[in-house]
């Protein structure tokens, strides 16, 4: 479900609510929700939350001990602080010494909590953040140089760029007027620069609107985002392009639905 804008929204909402709170107990109701590459859930007990931020699509909880707890919500995960009522599909409950809690709920059981000792960026093998000021057009072009993979598929590779998912890959390519099937290494310098601009523009707008709720995404307050109303191509197969009225096409790339305007993107 959530991509960069949704995770950014959740992390910003959670930060003031969780910072400074001490973990007293963790209730794991679906064991596979704990990523076995990290520590066991009990490692969190006694630790205090120092801050909450986003790394790629991970909600990243920094702990006073120096450890990091990362949550990946995958398709349908939700993180809710101090829920007023029991949530359906609750997989993990982190209880605080003050009596409150943080709940991970997830219908499809794909979401994962991982407790990391060292540098989380390294452990998660994340590429550069789209908003990193070091990501210049030249560096962006450099990432794509020589790659024959289709640009849409390239954008989804978290080891290159961290945070782009299926919605915003299609949206940014439409905004930059680049066909999703173009080999990444074949983008011109102008196209590379335009795509980087479009990625940032689309992501920034989506963050402003608190993310896109296409199906069941909700933020840390349980509320949907608003950006789905602004989507230009994602989920609009067969509908007229907002720019030229030609029907939006849907194709499958890397097993993911991909939407584009065959007229605007050539």
Site string for DNA, 52-91 (x = CB under 7 A): ----xx--------------x-xx----------------
Only one residue has tokens 């080891």, namely 159
**Nearest CB to DNA, comparing residues 47 and 157:** 157
Q: For Cα atoms 101, 104, 110, give the angle at the middle one, nearest 5 degrees.
A: 165
Selected range binding DNA among 41-49, 61-69, 146-154, 187-195, rule: CB under 7 A: 146-154
Helix axes 137-144, 189-208, angle to 10 degrees: 110
CB of 17 to DNA, least distance (A): 21
Selected range binding DNA among 61-69, 129-137, 163-171, 192-200, rule: CB under 7 A: 163-171
Strand 256-260 versus strand 112-116 pairing type? unpaired
Alpha helices in the chain (DSSP H): 4-18, 120-124, 137-144, 151-155, 166-175, 189-208
Answer yes or no whether residue 230 interacts with DNA by CB under 7 A.
no
Active site residue 205: no
Distance in angstroms (rounded) separating the CA atoms of residues 50 and 18? 8
Answer yes or no whether residue 217 interacts with DNA by CB under 7 A.
yes
CA atoms within 13 A on the CB side of 160: 19
Answer yes or no whether residue 32 interacts with DNA by CB under 7 A.
yes
CB of 141 to DNA, least distance (A): 15
Which among 148, 145, 149, 154 is positioned nearest to 173, based on CA atoms? 154
Distance in angstroms (rounded) separating the CA atoms of residues 75 and 245? 31
CB of 251 to DNA, least distance (A): 10
Site string for DNA, 107-126 (x = CB under 7 A): xxxx----------------
Active site residue 5: no
The residue ranges of DSSP E strands in the chain, in sequence order, are 23-28, 49-55, 58-63, 68-72, 77-81, 90-96, 101-106, 112-116, 249-253, 256-260
Judging by beta carbons within 10 Å of its beta carbon (0-12, 13-18, 19+), is residue 60 exposed, middle or buried? buried
Catalytic residue among 21, 57, 150, 210: 57
Interaction residues for DNA, span 239-258 (CB under 7 A): 254-257
Active site residue 8: no
Active site residue 57: yes
Residue of 216, 222, 223, 244 that binds DNA (CB under 7 A): 216
Residues that are catalytic = 2-3, 57, 256
Chain residues that interact with DNA, rule: CB under 7 A: 1-3, 6, 32, 56-57, 72, 74-75, 107-110, 146-150, 153, 156, 158, 165-167, 211-217, 254-257
């Amino acid at each position: 479900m959530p991509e960069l804008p949704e995770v950014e929204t959740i992390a910003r909402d959670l930060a003031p609510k969780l910072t400074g709170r001490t973990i007293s107990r963790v209730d794991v109701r679906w064991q596979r929700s704990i990523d076995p590459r990290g520590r066991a859930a009990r490692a969190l007990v006694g630790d205090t939350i120092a801050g909450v931020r986003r790394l790629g699509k991970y909600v990243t909880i920094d702990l006073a001990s120096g450890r990091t707890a990362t949550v990946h919500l995958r398709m349908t995960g939700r993180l809710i602080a101090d829920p007023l009522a029991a949530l359906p599909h609750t997989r993990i409950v982190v209880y605080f010494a003050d009596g409150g809690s943080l709940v991970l709920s997830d219908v499809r059981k794909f979401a994962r909590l991982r407790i990391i000792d060292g540098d989380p960026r390294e452990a998660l093998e994340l590429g550069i953040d789209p908003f990193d000021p070091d990501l210049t057009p030249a560096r962006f072009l450099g990432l794509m140089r020589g790659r024959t993979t289709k640009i849409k598929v390239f954008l989804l590779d978290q080891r290159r760029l961290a945070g782009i998912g299926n919605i915003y890959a299609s949206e940014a390519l439409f905004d930059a007027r680049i066909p999703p099937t173009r080999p990444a290494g074949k983008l011109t310098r102008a196209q590379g620069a335009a795509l980087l601009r479009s990625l940032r523009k689309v992501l920034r707008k989506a963050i402003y609107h608190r993310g896109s709720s296409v199906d069941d995404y909700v933020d840390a307050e349980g509320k949907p985002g608003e950006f789905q109303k602004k989507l230009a191509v994602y989920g609009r197969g067969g509908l007229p392009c907002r720019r030229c009225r030609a029907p939006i096409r849907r194709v499958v790339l890397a097993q993911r639905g991909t939407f584009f305007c065959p007229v605007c993107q050539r």
